[in-house]
Chain A
Amino acid sequence: MAGSSPAKGKISVMRRWLFVLPVVVFALMAGAFYVGLGRDTNVLPSALINEEAPKFNLPPLPGRKDGFSNADLQGHVSLVNAFASWCGPCRMEHPVLNELARTKQVPIYGINYKDTGDAALSWIAALGDPYTRIGADDGKVGIEWGVYGVPETYVIDKTGHIRYKHVGPLSPDDIKNKILPLVAKLEK
């Protein structure tokens, strides 16, 4: 190793390969970086994909009649959107949900996550209500679903199984390229 006899002309093969090692290791690492750039780190697959949605029965928001439960998800493809009035990105995605609800292609159900009823009601009143039903959740149902932040949107098939989870706000591109094709596929 270093510090041994001065180079006497021929450097041993082993020693030469030791010098090449760093650049080889680096090349592999850079390759991994390059491939890694193409990946979307925000796509965190839910452990519940293809599992049945957890059983739940959420109360309605104050002043409303209907809550939201498992039964509502049976028989048709649905979107379940976790949102809250205190959440900034939810505000950003809300017009997208409103637009989607207007086209009546798939019902959107809301889980009002860790919120106060009055705040949620005023938020909906101000920004629009795309939800077929809304359930008020203090967090316990969210945990069952694997919600760890808002907004999150789930696509549920006709038999009540979770097929897709989108973390973060939905953009019109997400709706067009990810959500609607999946919904169309599940409708068949």
Chain B
Amino acid sequence: MIDEIGHFALVLALCVAVIQATVPLYGAAKGDGALIALARPAALAQFAFIAAAFFALMHAYATSDFSMLNVAANSSSAKPLLYKITGVWSNHEGSMMLWVFMLALFGAGVAVFSGNLPPALRARVLAVQAMIGVGFLLFILFTSNPFLRLFPVPLDGNGLNPILEDRGLAFHPPCLYAGYVGFSISFCFAIAALIEGRVDPAWARWVRPWTLAAWCALTIGIAMGSWWSYYTLGWGGWWYWDPVENASFMPWIIGTALLHSAIVVEKRDTLKAWTILLAILTFSLSLIGTFLVRSGVLTSVHAFAEDPRRGVFILLLLGVATGGALLLYAIRAPSLKGGGLFAPISREGGLLLNNLLLTTAAATVLIGTLYPLFLDVVSKEKVSVGPPFFDMTFVPIMIPLLIAMAIGPLLSWKRGDLWAALQRLKLGFAIAAGATVLTMLIMGVKSVGAACGLALAAWLFAATIIEWAERIHLFSEPFGGSFRRAMRLPRAAWGMTFAHAGMAVVVAGITGSSAWTVEKIEDVRPGGKVELAGYTVVLDAVNDAKGPDYTATRADIRLLKGNELITEMHPEKRFFPLESGTQTDVAIHTNLLADVYAVVGDPDGKGGYTLRLYYNPLVPLIWLGAGAMALGGLISLSDRRHRVGAPSRRARRLAAAVQPAE
């Protein structure tokens, strides 16, 4: 019964979305207040119906209702409740439900939290949002319906892929989807601005919190996915430039550019065409990603089941949304009136460079991801593009970006003094040079590449701290004065400091991971030991273990440094009988600067076991840095200017003057 309600609610959501997509838009064009006012309640109603459908599906999973085809195909009664629930989005149909849920959630958010938006603009934003909703609800109802029944009802389901039974991975999709579906709001704002024919600082301020929220979620989502690969897949890798990974990374890159470009629109009323284009491209890349992952055009370890029929539908959605948006851009954007002039060396210039570098980086990733497809279409040749390509192209683009990131915040608007900025960063140079020399002394002359990586990280970190210290007059005023300045610093400034510092930490982590990982694969008997990077790993015993839906071999390992016991580690190799799959449970010991990573493998038939051991220096910094970046975003999101009214616009036919919310 609940399933039928869910199904019906989904259809109702579609109906509401159709109304929401058309009526407010017409109302905004005609200046009809009543029709415009329909947008808000429609968005809330749409969210309510989609939420009902989503939770009906979740209820079916939680109660193991195998009369639902989707539940039977992807769940089983032996699963712990957490994985029954997160199994909702482990498959194509369920994850599309999560997609529209996030879409409607953000739409409802705009309906509720946008008190200071002119009603006509809000109506247009919500209308475009509803159009996207219509497209995806049609897609679900016609090609990917999770509410289909199964008869006769099986006694148990097919179960969840064992590799997905993991606390960390369970929440990776919701974060990820909040991210790249959340960017739809920026897209809607851009389209609304193009329809209205103007982009101004007020627009930039209104679009910023939504972009920030989506960006934070996506940062966390990508980091979680990476971290999960690291501790699950068993060889310490965390990024493979797999098409699906790239599909999530490209919106992140362009989203970062969008965040920064919008600052220029807000502060200096320029770079408008760029910002609108970036807003369109961010969500378009999300849509392209959805297409690549679900249509079967690319092979990937991640891809959901291939179905060309679904692929055609998504391609149609993509064509209408992105094609329509870019067409509108081509027609309307040239007439966007630009504002402030600026010299090439200035903060605007720096942010323009930022746009260029990030867009180039994203284009590189896109080309690398799509090249096999294009080559196949044009010449029927089959190639695969892997990490070597991306390392050769992406990394060289990042280097000037990391250097410029340090200098940009020190340049003033309109006309900056580069030499003066570099002078202020003298200490940063010294630290970077010191880091290079120190690395090469400790790790040997051959480590030049890694030394450069650490030097860049040190440079960026030092420069970020220097900029912050200058702002609060640290050391040039008594400490009390500095403290007061720090407390009064706008949160957006704190956000920038955390985010840029976090980026530096991530670069350090990536450098360590690429350059200094130590791997040891040995056949060990219980009682035997292995030396690893100054540690001693002792295998005490290997026993059988049991879980709710698996059996396992479990190794008892002691990690020693010299004679001192650091910790015990218990890697497992698990076998899931229902799905006939195995999964390795890696044991990791971290001291936040390095990881010791242990995997127990197959027995050799003579009483010994294959132990795979890794020493991964600096890898924890990757997750810590990503966390700092997300934290910076969240701090920035709580900035007062998002709650206080934006600079007021000149009165228009219907737009009321903006009232401060406080």
Contacts and interface: CB of A to CB of B under 8 A. Distances in A.
Interface of A: 1-7, 11, 15-16, 19-20, 22-23, 26-27, 29-30, 32-39, 41-42, 44-45, 88
Given A6-B338, A33-B315, A37-B296, A45 B382 contact: yes
B554 to A, nearest CB: 22
A67 B296 CA distance: 39
Contacts of B377: 32, 35-36, 39
Contacts of B311: 37
B374 A23 contact: no
Given A2-B273, A22-B330, A88 B299 contact: no
Contact of B270 (A2, A22, A41): A2
B241 interface: no
Contact of A3 (B277, B335, B341): B341
A78 to B, nearest CB: 26
Contacts of B376: 36, 39, 41
Given A4-B341, A33-B297, A37-B308, A26 B326 contact: yes
A66 to B, nearest CB: 28
Contacts of A33: 291, 295, 297, 315, 318, 373
The prevalent SS among residues of B at the interface is: helix
A38 B308 contact: yes
19 contacts: A2-B272, A2-B273, A2-B274, A3-B338, A3-B352, A4-B338, A6-B338, A7-B338, A15-B334, A19-B330, A20-B330, A26-B322, A26-B323, A29-B288, A32-B374, A37-B312, A38-B308, A41-B298, A41-B299
The prevalent SS among residues of A at the interface is: helix
A2 B342 CA distance: 10
Nearest to A41: B299
Contacts of A5: 338, 341
A32 B330 contact: no
B267 to A, nearest CB: 13
Contacts of A41: 296-299, 306, 376
Contacts of A29: 288, 370
A37 B580 contact: no
Contacts, number: 97
Contacts of B334: 7, 11, 15-16, 19
B382 A23 contact: no
Interface string B322-334: 1100110110011
A41 B318 CA distance: 21
Nearest to B344: A3
A19 B273 contact: yes
Interface of B: 270-274, 277, 280-281, 284, 288, 291, 295-299, 306, 308, 311-312, 315, 318-319, 322-323, 326-327, 329-330, 333-335, 337-342, 348, 352, 370, 373-374, 376-377, 382, 580
B610 to A, nearest CB: 16
Contacts of A15: 334
Given A19-B273, A30-B323, A37-B312, 17 more contacts: A2-B271, A2-B272, A3-B270, A4-B341, A11-B334, A22-B280, A22-B281, A22-B329, A23-B327, A23-B330, A26-B326, A32-B370, A33-B295, A33-B315, A33-B373, A36-B376, A41-B297
Nearest to B374: A32
A35 B315 CA distance: 11
Contact of B315 (A1, A30, A39, A45): A30
Contact of B337 (A7, A19, A22): A7
Nearest to B376: A39
A22 B338 contact: no
Contacts of B370: 29, 32
B439 to A, nearest CB: 39
B318 A30 contact: yes
Contacts of B341: 3-5
B348 A3 contact: yes
A6 B337 contact: yes
A3 B341 CA distance: 6
Which 9 residue pairs spanning A and B have beta carbons closest together? Answer: A23-B326, A36-B297, A20-B330, A3-B270, A35-B377, A37-B311, A22-B326, A36-B373, A11-B334
B289 to A, nearest CB: 12
Contact of A30 (B298, B319, B327): B319
A23 B194 CA distance: 15
A37 B313 CA distance: 11
A44 B327 contact: no
Contacts of B306: 41
Which of A2, A3, A4 counts the most B-chain CB atoms under 10 A from its CB?
A3
A26 B370 CA distance: 13
A85 to B, nearest CB: 11
B315 A23 contact: no
